[in-house]
Amino acid sequence: MSRPGRWDPIPPRPVSQVPEIEDASRGAAAPALLGRLLAYRTPNSGRALLELAVTAGPLALLWTLAGLAVARGHWWGVLFTLPAAAFLLRLFMVQHDCGHGAFFPHKVLNDWTGRVIGVFTLTPYDHWRREHAKHHATSGDLDRRGFGDVEMLTVAEYLGLSFWRRLGYRLFRHPAVMFGLGPAYVFFIRHRLPMGEMGGGWRSWLSPMATNLAIAGLATGLILVAGARPFLLVQLPTCLIAGTIGVWLFYVQHQFEGVAWARRPRWNLTDAALGGSSHYHLPGPAGWFTANIGVHHVHHLSSRIPFYRLRAVLKDLPELDAGRLSLAQSLRGMRLALWDEGAQRLISFREMRRS
């Protein structure tokens, strides 16, 4: 989730270049470790087509069943939106891998698959891909926050704000706002405009506007066929549920108890991947529906590893299958909202008042 407002009194430095993590890592162990990951970076067209089929196929079926049921007055059809949201979330993960060039072996196929999926996930592919690349290049860097992450202030920055801006930050960090209003803002408002690239010329506007036109066309067609009420009753909950889970995943991947953040020159991409990205243990169906995005530390080490090969990495390199973050631990971490630079850890508002 991108920041909805800049609370940091010192804006992050602009990112003029966005290097691949594999090429920019400066940690001492990076060459050997990343060299071992090279074998997993090659996408497989057959596996990619299978993953796309088992994701888009059930989603289309569930959408159809829900629409038909609701159109005929069977309101229980809305229940189909729950599994539909899970498959829509997984479809976004396919789009995510396309953005990294990790789903299909060919760039053109990755890009056009991502663009088409973006119509259904309400995410302009090319614009999102550029912003997400900046996130990978700056993750865990206290001097360059605000690219594809959830807003986080240091204790000193928070104390330097006015009363009203402190209140605003506290409201923003409240779960009801972050995971209630936040997803609606991101997918229904923020993604409709080239946020962060507003002054970048027509190329910056092309992706959001083309996606908006395609969404409008698809929505108009579905409304003409099924009616406005069935369309809204099926689409809105499906998108909001999937969006809420997606925002939660983006949040917990880089803000959890024990996470590492640093300022330059101490910061480097390898440490940011291993210490600043979670290994979120989501067993069984949860891991499948989230396309192994919980193996986020490995993803940040080498973003071109397809999601369908991340489990193999953990199996073959057991040293990376450590430091798991459980669901219970992630939920307890929701109280953490400020980075204490003295203690080098995330703390809650209550802990700040006690110090």
Res 355: pLDDT: 78
| Residue 261 maps to a domain | yes
pLDDT value of residue 237: 97
User: Is 16 within the bounds of a domain?
Assistant: no
Rg (CA), the chain: 20
pLDDT over threshold 80, residue 224: yes
Contact 305, 313 (CB under 8 A): yes
Classify each residue of 4-36 as buried b or exposed e, where b means 16 or more C-beta atoms within 10 Å of its C-beta.
Answer: beebbeeebeeeeebebbbeebebeebeebbee
**Residue 12 DSSP symbol:** P
Does residue 136 belong to any structural domain of this protein? Answer: yes
Q: How confident is the model at residue 29 (pLDDT cuts 50, 70, 90)?
A: low
Average pLDDT over residues 16-25: 36
Task: Kindly tell me if the per-residue pLDDT of 59 is higher than 50.
Answer: yes
Query: Is residue 339 pLDDT above 70, yes or no?
Result: yes
% of the chain at pLDDT higher than 90? 81
Mean pLDDT check: name the lowest of 30-34, 118-122, 188-192, 329-333.
30-34
Angle (nearest 5°) at CA 96 between 335 and 132: 65
pLDDT surpassing 50 at residue 3: no
More confident residue, 202 or 61: 61
pTM here?
0.89
70-75 average pLDDT score: 93
Q: Flag whether 47 is in a domain.
A: yes
Higher pLDDT, 309 or 202: 309
User: Furthest-apart CA pair in the chain: how many Å?
Assistant: 63
Structural domain including 309 reads: 21-354
Is 261 a residue whose pLDDT tops 60?
A: yes
pLDDT of residue 32: 80
Residue 210: pLDDT above 70?
A: yes
Any domain includes 260: yes
Establish if 5 belongs to a structural domain.
no
pLDDT of residue 234: 97
- What's the pLDDT score for residue 30? 65
Q: Which pLDDT belongs to residue 7?
A: 33
Of 4-13, 38-47, 159-168, 308-317, least confident by mean pLDDT is: 4-13
Q: How many domains does one find in the chain?
A: 1
List pLDDT tens digits, range 89-111.
Answer: 999 999 999 999 999 999 999 99
pLDDT at 8: 34
- H/E stretch holding 241 reads helix 228-252
In a domain, 6, yes or no: no
Q: List the one residue out of 241, 312, 300 whose CA is nearest residue 273.
A: 300
Query: At residue 13, does pLDDT exceed 80?
Result: no
User: In this structure, is residue 91 part of a structural domain?
Assistant: yes
